[in-house]
Amino acid sequence: GWNPDPVLLLSLLLIGRLYARGLARVWRAGVGRGAAGWQAGCFAAGLLTLFLALASPLDALSGELSAAHMA
């Protein structure tokens, strides 16, 4: 089943919050500075991928299906 580890969840939420806060500050600084929207989306996708790899049932699988966890 799913692993609702509070340390994992809080860590990912904290990282996302800090990134969003910094990104908002950079975007307020002006056009052409900082990260593009697609880069922020890639960061969010990376956090989601970490969450799925570490908290989903994929983490507990063994054998052939563990390749899905590693991918």
* Per-residue pLDDT tens over the stretch 7-26: 989 999 999 999 999 999 88
Tell which wins on pLDDT, 54 or 71.
54
Tell me the pTM.
Answer: 0.74
pLDDT in tens, 43-70: 999 999 888 878 877 666 655 566 665 6
What integer pLDDT is reported at residue 12 of this predicted model?
94
- 43: exposed, middle or buried (C-beta count within 10 Å: 0-12, 13-18, 19+)? middle
